[in-house]
Amino acid sequence: MIPLGPADRFDAFRALADRRGRPGDRLLELLAEARGRTAGSPERWAPAVAASVGLPAAAALGPARYYADLEAPHGRRHVRVCSATACFAAQGGRHLTDVEHALGVAADTVSPDGETSLQTVRCLGYCYAGPAALDGGTPCTGPALADQLTGREPPRAAEIPVADDTGDPVLLAGVSAGEPAWQVWPRTVTAGSPDAVWTEVAASGLRGRGGAGFRVAAKWEAAGRATGTVVVVNGDEGDPGSYADRLLMEADPERVLEGLALACFACGARQAVVLVRSEYPRALARLREAVARAYADGHFGAAVHGTATALDVRVVEGAGSYVAGEETALIAGLEGDRGCARPRPPYPTAQGLWNAPTVVNNVETLAAVPWIVSRGGAAYAQRGTPDETGTKLVCLSERFARPGAYEVELGTPVDRIVTELGGGLKDGTEPVVVQVGGPLGGFLARDALDVPLTTADLAARGAALGHAGLVAFDGRVAPEDVMRHVWQFAAAESCGACSPCRVGSRRGLELAAAGTPPGAEWQRLSRVLAEASLCAFGRRIPPAVRSLARAYGDRPTGWAS
């Protein structure tokens, strides 16, 4: 027998789905519809969904037991309350208990009469106004969250505050400067060339803004303009503390779609998929409306603006999972499978969605492309730093005096962002630690914020850029509670695909909950997580934990190493 190489790995689910006409394309949508009609466990209703599309019961039970939206019971009234970092920092997590008492429902359960269900989620994108909840599709935010959910006060959810710090915004060109979208795509598709688009993006030095920081032009080139190439927009912004993608999808979806069209043109792709996380219902609606308008205006379709270029775009709703934002896990979810990370190689650019060459770019990345093609890659490369060019949306959490989304040039000192743009913390208090780049990004002490906002500089301090969300913790939250919160996130959101992360995250939570210094066991656990985890999620846990221990300094957490 000839052993299969990585690129020839047999995937039983894909093989079966191919024979059944790829029903996985709509499996998660069908499961979500079924879940919305019942409070029962997936074993009761998921097999029937699988049978309706010609798949075995296991094909539906796998994702139904994996994705948070499908696993959680749903009452006739379904409330999702945020338990992520910014909302936790706002009141030390007390808001969850208040909501449970107000609704008379324990977290992640449904009331005995089936009327009300309460689901805890990790980030709703209201980090600037937390704590937050979604009552159906209605957002409620702020200190009076429980009163809003019980009707004693009306629902409140402020628009995202935005400001440009660059003088010539790239990402906020439409939101703050009023520049209309769809100015670049029509002339590019009628008079330009794919090579010209690729050349400008290559000259810009643009790197992916989803966290990995891979050069965009290199990823596009890796797909090789092969027949059947697909471009996927990753709108599964899962990093608690960041709401940049939500802002762009809600306030300027046309710019995101124009960037997508240019990416498809450069990659030779005729098909594109936009995945929007279910926690962003307004963004989902805005993008679907924008796609419909784009077809009506000739930006998408069988003959774009009368040319031979064809582009078909569809919008898909996610089902709730942090790791499902990792590109191989995202692709698995689009195929109807569990959103678990897959081994690489093969890389998605060679073998991605349904084995087709697939380019995955996040929302913020694509929103920069129209500016680059219009103004030139060289102009973009002059901004930021020589090694990390361009601008970035930085999101400041509710604890700041001036929370909101700020467009800054890469290399801007974090201390300046915290003190000048954010105005420090509310009531003139000082931050004790600041989390940068999500719960597994890293933590910086107040006296360690004199670091440029770049991947390399933050990494040298044990942190990470990630989506560039900044969450401030003041002295009201104990360091051991923050440490336990980090481990709760890690244990809950591990996809379970590899045992180092699956077992290690749970063991870390046990150690953190015990409240005793883990000692030598932490050293072993850290080494296994960092060296043997399948994807960056597990590998990032040890540096995040160590950075938190260092940031608290003389307030020991017991996890320093």
pLDDT value of position 239: 84
pLDDT at 6 over 60: no
3-state class (DSSP) for residue 207: strand
The letter for the amino acid at 367 is A
Q: Residue 535 pLDDT > 90, yes or no?
A: no
Confidence band of 377 (pLDDT split at 50, 70, 90): very high
Q: Kindly report the average pLDDT of the chain as a whole number.
A: 92
Percent of the chain past pLDDT 90, that is, above it, reads 80
How much is the pLDDT for 132? 98
428 burial level (CB within 10 Å; 0-12, 13-18, 19+): exposed
Given a cut of 50, is residue 29 above it in pLDDT? yes
Strands 230-235 and 271-276: parallel
- Asked which of 122-131, 317-326, 461-470, 496-505 is least confident by mean pLDDT, the reply is 317-326
| Rounded-to-integer distance, Cα 434 and Cα 400, Å | 11
Query: How far from the centroid of its chain's Cα atoms is residue 10's Cα?
Result: 29
pLDDT of residue 187 exceeding 70, the answer is: yes
Name the residue among 151, 123, 124 with its Cα closest to residue 281: 124
The separation between CA 387 and the C-alpha centre of its own chain, rounded to angstroms, equals: 24
Contact between 414 and 451 (Cβ < 8 Å):
yes
Q: Where are the beta strands (DSSP E) in 212-258?
A: 230-235
CA 444/CA 283 separation, integer angstroms: 31
Dist. CA 30–CA 68, nearest whole Å: 15
Give the DSSP letter string of 357-368: -EEEEEHHHHHH
State both tokens at 102.
Answer: 């107000």
What does the angle CA 4 – CA 8 – CA 13 come to, to the nearest 5 degrees? 110
> In this structure, are residues 85 and 241 in contact, taking their beta carbons and an 8 Å threshold?
yes
Task: Give the chain's count of helices (H) and strands (E).
Answer: 23, 15
pLDDT at position 560 over 80? no
pLDDT of residue 378: 98
The structural domains of the chain, ordered by start, are 77-149 (3.40.30.10), 162-381 (3.40.50.11540), 391-473 (3.10.20.600), 479-552 (1.20.1440.230)
Q: Of 13-17, 110-114, 412-416, which range is least confident?
A: 13-17
* pLDDT value of residue 4: 39
**Which residue from 32, 28, 149, 160 is spatially nearest to 80, judged by alpha carbons?**
149
Average the pLDDT over 446-458 and give the result: 95
Q: Which helix (H) or strand (E) holds 409?
A: strand 404-409
3-class DSSP string for 465-489? CCCCEEEEECCCCCHHHHHHHHHHH
pLDDT number for residue 15: 65
- In which band, very low, low, confident or very high, does the pLDDT at 213 lie, cut at 50, 70 and 90? confident
50 vs 23: CA distance, rounded Å:
9
Q: What is the mean pLDDT of residues 372-393?
A: 97
Q: How confident is the model at residue 2 (pLDDT cuts 50, 70, 90)?
A: very low
Q: For residue 3, is pLDDT > 70?
A: no
Digit-coded pLDDT (tens) for 259-317: 999 999 999 999 999 999 999 999 999 999 999 999 999 999 999 999 999 999 999 99
The tokens describing 216, both together, are 């965009």
Phi and psi angles of residue 292, each rounded to the nearest 5 degrees, phi first: -60, -40
- Whether 502 shows a pLDDT value over 50: the answer reads yes
Report the range of poorest mean pLDDT among 161-165, 369-373, 519-523.
519-523
Please, which residues have CB within 8 angstroms of residue 132's CB and are 6 or more apart in sequence? 81, 82, 87, 124, 126, 139, 140, 141, 145, 157
For a pLDDT cut of 70, what percent of the chain falls above it? 94
Q: Calculate mean pLDDT across residues 125-145.
A: 97
What are phi and psi for residue 227, nearest 5 degrees?
Answer: -60, 135
| Between 515 and 30, the higher pLDDT residue | 30
220 has pLDDT over 90: yes
Where is pLDDT greater, at 510 or 211? 510
Inform me whether the pLDDT recorded for 390 exceeds 90: yes
Could you tell me if 255 and 407 are in contact, meaning their C-beta atoms sit under 8 angstroms apart? no
Range name among 176-185, 519-528, 550-559 with the lowest pLDDT average: 550-559
End-to-end CA distance of the chain: 48
Is the pLDDT at 320 greater than 90, yes or no? no
